[in-house]
Structure 1
Amino acid sequence: MAEFPRGRKPEENRRFRLVATDIDGTLINSERLLSRLTIDTLAAVPVPVVLVTGRPLRWLEQLYDQLPAPLPAVCLNGAVVYDPHTDEVLRTEPLTCELLIDVVGRLRDAVPDISLAVEVDDGRAFRHEATWPRLWVDHRVEVISSPDELTSVPAVKLLVRSATADPDDFLELVSKALGGVAEATRSSSSALVEISAAGVTKAAGLAWLCERDGIDASDVVAFGDMPNDIPMLTWAGHGVAMGNAHEAVRAVADATTASNEDDGVAVYLRKAFNL
């Protein structure tokens, strides 16, 4: 069951002019599927819905195949804003080659036991070191032959993985090593940290899209479950944590809803919009 903030009735949330939602751990279940209730609810919501995700562009296909029509997306934790109707990248904020060289140097000096990878070509291609676990076969995924290939072109995300560290401790360690020159966050249950250019967050990408469309932060309801969602949930007028959310996300949210396995986004939206 959805939980609304103390003293606020669900009907009052009908002022929302835009719905922003994370994908993994939020909109889809553990099998990466949208429920029929969620599909029907997204179609019935009377305001725009935007996907705000850590996923790269090439991973949107799996979700778009389940929807009657694709939704606009803020990808790669805010580094890319994408219009699926025109297949156009509206905005991109990559890490420059110079910044990548600096960040990779800091990480190799300060953090042991790491493997590195980069999202390039606006998230349409992926390069990784040989030590990176190969979990799928995809022609857009390439094993680098030289460490210099990690920093040879701008990247919309740098990923750093540890095989042994605690996920929260690893994020803290990486953040300390960066010293503020870039953004570090995580969305995985493993020790995988995602690095973007300074100031690039889900909140920043969504704010750019909303400003373009004349929508104020106070008019946005946002859903998320992991630390990379925290900037978005605190920026939005109403941030909702999933029932399965990381404790840090629940701590900053205005409300909570059911888990992603129990259609938490759909449950909340149906009450908020009287669907």
Structure 2
Amino acid sequence: MAAPSPRSPLSRPALIATDLDGTLLRGDDTVSARSLAALAAAARAGARHLVVTGRPAPRVRPLLAALGGTGLAVCAQGAQVYDAATATLLWSVRLDRELAETALGKIEAEVGQVHAAADQDGVDGLTLIEAGYRMPHPTLPAVRVERREQLWRAPISKVLLRHDRLSDDELAATARSVVGSLATVTMSGPGTVELQPCGITKATGLALAAEHLGLGRADTIAFGDMPNDIPMFQWAAHGVAMAGAHPELKAVADEVTLSNEDDGVALVLERLFAP
């Protein structure tokens, strides 16, 4: 099956920004040989690759090692810019824990009980989950806590929410309607509605990382699959949605490629960086 043609022409980008889950990663959390080869060819042509993901830095570090990455990564929905070469955070914004607890209370006042998790800040931060919360990716490590207040025992970068009955779209819409300026609400994947610091998006982190590299939006192509990638698409010169992407992201994409299982990222890069 051939991928649809792009709606607008694009010359070779200097910066390639890829989401991970549902985009560069296959369902088994691996990157295909074809995708690795396409990224390597782009690197030989002088392009830089940036991972831009909702995963916090500790959950990204092993993947960067597998990718051979020693540069930067935008993590935690843009709240962190991680430098793999030094294993440090160049930039980090925390979600105020009192605001997070207040926002969670407002959401539960509307929809009843939700199940919550929290990503701690820092390169070694833990993912804490309360009873009833199921990790969307079983391969990701998490520590279960007995009481919700234990989620706030250390600084956090974001809160993750699930509901027993509401769909992700319904939960995200309700959260946005009641949270206001307490936090930014995003939806980053199946079963993954999140609260992050107000005003922070993937575009925030991507812009900072690009500036650090001496590059800008006109140099950037972005790949993604979920509504949390919309700000990144709006910032970049060209946005490529995966075949199985959420309709909200497809609506703002410049191009739709094949799925993550069918090497959609590689297909576009092979076209752009053909010898």
**Deviation, structure 1 residue 147:** 2.7
Q: Distance in 2 between matches of 1:210 and 1:80?
A: 13
Deviation at 1:219, TM superposition (A): 1.2
TM-score (norm 1): 0.90
> Paired residues, what number?
269
Residue in 2 that maps onto 1:208: 208
How far the C-alpha of 1:153 sits from its partner, in A, is: 3.1
Q: CA deviation at 1:184?
A: 0.7
Within a 5 Å distance, the mapping from 1:157-172 to structure 2 comes to 157-172=158-173
Q: Verify: 1:26 aligned to 2:38, yes or no.
A: no
Given that 2:74 and 2:80 are in contact with CA atoms closer than 8 Å, whether structure 1 keeps it comes out as: yes
CA distance in 2, matches of 1:172, 1:72: 32
For 2:213 and 2:68, the matched residues in 1 are separated by 23
State the match for 2:11 in structure 1: 13
1:148-168 superposed Cα distances (whole Å, 9 cap, x missing partner): 222343310111111221221
Q: Match for residue 85 of structure 1?
A: 85
Change in Cα spacing, 1:7 to 1:58, as seen in structure 2 (3 Å) is closer
* Equivalent residue, structure 2, for 1:180: 181
For the 8 Å contact 2:7–2:254, the answer to whether it is kept is no
Query: For residue 66 of structure 1, what is the aligned residue in structure 2?
Result: 66
Partner in structure 1 of residue 151 of structure 2: 150
Report the Cα offset of residue 42 of structure 1. 0.9
**What is the match of residue 34 of structure 2?**
37
- Opposite residue 204 of structure 2, the aligned amino acid is A
User: Could you tell me which residue of structure 2 aligns to residue 270 of structure 1?
Assistant: 270
Q: Displacement, 1:258?
A: 1.2
| Distance in 2 (alpha carbons) for counterparts of 1:187 and 1:255 | 20
Once the two structures are superposed, residues 99-138 of structure 1 have per-residue CA deviations (whole angstroms, 9 ceiling, x without a partner) of 2232222223223131111100336201121222367598
Identity %: 37
Contact 1:233 1:239 in 2 (8 A): yes
Letter in structure 2 aligned against 1:228: N
Structure-to-structure mapping, 1:45-124, within 5 angstroms: 45=42, 46-122=46-122, 124=125
Instruction: Work out the CA distance in 1 between the residues paired with 2:83 and 2:92.
Output: 12
| Unaligned runs of at least 5 residues, structure 1 | none
| Aligned equivalent of 1:228 | 228
For the structure 1 residues 62 and 163, does the alpha-carbon distance in structure 2 shift closer, same or farther, using more than 3 Å as the test? farther
Aligned to 1:193: 193
Distance 1:69 1:48 in 2: 10
Name the aligned partner's letter for residue 259 of structure 2: S
Shift of 1:47: 0.8
TM-superposed deviation, 1:38? 0.6
TM-score normalised per structure 2: 0.90
Aligned Cα root-mean-square deviation (Å): 2.1
The answer for unaligned runs of 5 or more in structure 2 is: none
Query: 2 CA distance for matches of 1:7 and 1:196?
Result: 33
Contact kept, 8 Å, 1:72 with 1:84, in 2: the verdict is yes
Deviates most, 145-154 or 44-53: 145-154
Query: In structure 1, how many angstroms separate the alpha carbons of the residues matched to 2:4 and 2:139?
Result: 41
Q: Secondary structure at the match of 1:33?
A: coil
2:22 alignment partner, SS class:
coil
